[in-house]
Structure 1
């Protein structure tokens, strides 16, 4: 960007700067912002989880470049940071300050006010003022925690809590409109005040079938220590044994669950609650118990162990779920595993989510998308492509991301033909002139086709169609207005993905009764 740009109370997350597509494939610079010979002011903002392709010095959050000219003169390039966070960039430093040549103007970063910049680099004689904190700010997941736009909360113990400094240019509220008060937090999110109702978090884990590689369900229950308000917000789960973030889940009725196959028996798991309704944060730990069976045994048939008594209703429901999701009857091993989970208190919705995270289900989804979007049979799809996309899903990628990658990889047509094909495929209509002009402008400006498809898949029109189709497929009726609006809002805010929508339908008492009555008849 050129000229003067000012960001106040902004969150920039998940952005990508890609290199060119020429013969040498250049590097990407400035995952969130590329400041070229301009003035950039960033105040009480959070820039996190941004990335660049190619260069380690690509500046995942900010790349500040002063570029010389053939005439020997160059404009200065200045960045001023105040009470802000630059962190968790993927594959590159968070901040790079670069004075490109001796003919360039000064490249200056002023970070004398309190800030967190986890990783930075100063190149070619550029000037960086100040000593920002470099500790991990311990940010929560990007989601809607109030206000009009998503934010990234500060988790308990974050060094950004109370580390800011008030000033004439520091706003009195955060990005959500929450008052900052006299104790200023770094970033766009101001934490809950000290007078908030305290909470306690209880964490438990299911027993995995094998010591490693098997799925476990983590259940966090959050309760208020006083009053009658039910805590709302999200819980982030971290494997502190390996240091891996397993994911996050939204509270429903004070409970949040996460099913993962990325943790092993004996690992210590920490869950941290971040409130969206004015309550205090809390955390708890648990250890994943020893496996229920020995995967190294010469006889891996789980049916050789003690039988599991499963009710007729649960058997009917599990078989119906398998038929719907996997297109086949449930096998004896699956019946025993999921039946035991139900007997041990796992909810039907949790079981469906667990089934949806199996490689069998996800592979079917991926191959189905290749068939639908590119016309490729399962035999024509390289196993390396399937494994890559499976890896993304195991790391938490929404299936909309997978669809965008597959559909956006088609460069065999013109932009107009591509847009029309995508609209016909996902919205069942031709692209309208207004939308075509808007998407064409982005493509011309350098947006990838993948980014365009992802934008379409996050549109209210597509999400309305998606939820409506879910209801027709699984419930046999269209959704009521309130349910449709709630699910679409959750999908737009990324507090739910479509697997969760489907799980909530198949796990409902209405669908369980339908499955049981269908079997008995």
Structure 2
């Protein structure tokens, strides 16, 4: 006889079906064993065998239960064989149709961890200036003021820079850069008040004028000038420049005066400007940008005001909440077919901004698959994107996600 299973999605198990074996002879029959064979044998399994090793009296039956768990699409079949002592084997054909595996999709939020572009910018500002996540109260206060037009990002940056938390972090960064160690409590107690009343350039020069810095430079005027060039200008000193500074030190000029002169030079300020571009805008400053901002700092623009001016730019907002998404993970999904591969799926994304849905890329993930897509929005806001996924076998799934730009 034959056993037919209802259509079953790949990777799932059908309810077991029972094959009844009966002794149709006139003498007792011992059942030796039950086996499965055929090209699709892996799609079927014996889940309960009450026949193997049993001796059946004439007319007596015994049951064998079989289930169907397809591992690939299409028609599947196998043969169930029951062997008995001294009697021909009995067989039953098992048939089942494997339908396409179901897809389960989940949207993946695309944002900076916040709900609006303004909040993204405030969060980025705190991370850049204080090296820590923004606290909830500050996030709510500043984002509300920004959205209402009551303040600007430049003013928020200036307020943050006016805190002793920022000054403490700044002194710590200078110690790490110039002395190769964290600032101790005594040094913080000395330099933080100096930074409160003075400038970053003043404190930088004071640390560079310390005996500790001089010792790290080798304890000689030659080594000291070379160290200042390395730390402030990012290159070795030229022979004439080195000779001139060393001569001044030999004639009695203070290390503080020499350090301050080099640190306040247009070249050093251009180096500082370039570092700010890298940190805040994620790119190298152009030659013109380096020169212009460096010269502005030579003529009185403070380090804090330089940072704040970059934070005010549209480019900074675009870094915090970019309008252009490139290969962003917008959804993940799992397929019931354990043999599924990215090539059997197609995915599209409706970005929710009125543009035509665009094709996306499906990639294998550690668990299941991920949908990657690129898009450029026309405005900063929170959008709802809809992701549609289809399998070549016919299964489909749809999910939505939030995109904050």
Q: Given the two structures, how large is their TM-score scaled by the length of structure 1?
A: 0.37
Higher relative contact order (CA 8 A, sep 6+): 2
Q: Given the two structures, how large is their TM-score scaled by the length of structure 2?
A: 0.48
Tell which structure's C-alpha radius of gyration is larger: 2
Higher strand share: 2
Higher helix share: 2
